[in-house]
A and B are shown apart, each in its own frame.
Chain A
Amino acid sequence: MTTHPAIELAGLTKRFGDVVAVDSIGLEVGVGELVSLLGPSGCGKTTTLNMVAGFLDPDAGDIRLHGQSVADRPPHKRNSGMVFQSYALFPHMSVFENVAFGLRVRRLPKAEIERSVHEALAMVRLDGLHDRSTQQLSGGQRQRVSLARALVYQPDVLLLDEPFSNLDAKLRVAMRAELVEIQRRAQVTALFVTHDQEEAMHISDRIVVMNAGRIEQIGSPTDVYRRPESVFVADFLGEANLVEGRIAAATAETATVETADGLQFRAETTKPWSNGDACWLMVRPEHLVVCADTDPAPANRMHGTVKSHAFLGSAHIVQVEAAGRDWSLKLSDSEWTPVAPGDDVAIGWNAPDCVVLNA
């Protein structure tokens, strides 16, 4: 028997009037994997999730859960669990009844419902609160009830629609770790929608970056951050210094990028480039350093003037004007040598730290 991916999207398309919200996307999510759909609002990530849940009918393409097409099935016949941004707890039911709902509609025996609900509540660390009204719970507790409600009947897939965006910043971070732990223990396949790149990086096995209804890139958090494949991905995940140019020279492993004003930068690359190709060069602010003139490294360097400096606690953000454009540097506090606006400095980065992108 071949093992099928837990979720398989093939050529999935959804239009709203003239707008193509989701444009023929394909994706496979392995069993037990946690995959995030990441993108700005309007990129189609929520529409995709709603099609997987069954709230929207796709205009084209197929959705398969464990190899079985579910595109024609209503939401209640897909055996999936879902956690909503607004919690969506049933206000007229206690915590216990909320969690028990999926088991009751599956007509399981009473004793089993009782046992499963208590297990699920223990898993989200809410044991003892089963008699509470949902109105008496804090935001974090509500979202955990919602998680227990979605997991208690052991769904084939767990769908999460920006589940933490109604929580305050600290709680949001704490819940991330908890979600990952619960998801691992429940061994459930999860599809997680978010617009928060840090959240996606924190929890995901793989990230699907979406833009304008299309998938820009699929990869591990490290991959999409370190090796973005498009300007959009580079710009959307974290900060990026982007320079437009052309390939001046290329080998199998390196490329030299020349900007319109004649500056040349060296980069390492795995993609084949030919001379004259239009491209963008991307380097993260944390990879830029302030260096001394006598220092042989880094490979790419230039002189500039400090425009501004801001201290953020863990890091310093410095804007430097060099070669006719602004460069953003993120320097950790431990390696900080004071500079002030107006100072002349040399900045640079190493060839392996920058990425050449298709224009």
Chain B
Amino acid sequence: MLSRVADSLYWLSRNVERAENNARLIAVKLTSRLENANPIEENNQNWYELIEIGGYEQIFNENYDRCDDRSVVEFLMFSMKNPNSILNAITVARENARAVREIIPNELWESINSFYLKLMSFSKSVWAMDEVNEFCETVKKESLFFQGIVEATMPRGDAYLFMDMGKHLERAEKTARILDVFYHKDLDQYQNKEIVEYHHWWSVLQSVSGHEAYIKMYRPLIKAKDVAEFFILNIDFPRSMIYCIQKVRNAFVALEEGEVEHYSESLAKELEYLANDLIDFTIEEVLYQDAHAFLQSFQRRCSTVGHYITRTYYLGEVAIP
């Protein structure tokens, strides 16, 4: 497979995943606003969380003088100044898909193309805040449809594996990021801390569609530590960090047919380190020092893995010696 093609497939699936994650976060924020026990305390500062999760503080502050629901939604969904807005992510995904149209199933191309056309027409319309929730649903559904086509129609060869690697690396990083931001939110300021805390973690679980699975496992008792365990170490939950990292590893092993060659050594090692941080540890051990430090280092490791993937398979502008 051409390395340019591998690159496009990898970023195609990363970008679709990224768009879906954005939509999930916005949707949860919208619902929690409606359901919150203390609507008055849900101020605009809470919308700013979404900017923090993405790490977009600087670009956002440069382009908007106000931080309210509309400006944040606009920024996360449609702003072309935000390199990771849903519209930008899907525009890039579509360009990537177009560049590999002859490799991917035609249905997959059509789905991403329709996705883009819908997004474009919504972004150009005069949208109202109460349409946003439904639109987030559309984005989620389009992404799930996209993944469904990948799962149901693509042969498990290199093309599939590069996409799978991209998707799960993106997901692992996003899960860590969401947890990181919410874990550190200071809830002591609230008078009815218990209720607020419940809603707080409930939203976090919803944002990864994990609320139902969580309840089956921990019953409806929501504690920060349990949520962290669920997010980080639950080997069965498809958005947990450990699950996603195992998937990236499996894809790598399949690509290399189980061998570790000279050129793939650094990637193999890095993936091993990353997994070793998680496997065979309890949540107490993982969070022993500091949750924030752990989650930060996990995100850095993910981006190192991304870097090694690029180097190993000559993605992007990497030259072949």
Whether A associates with B in a native complex is no
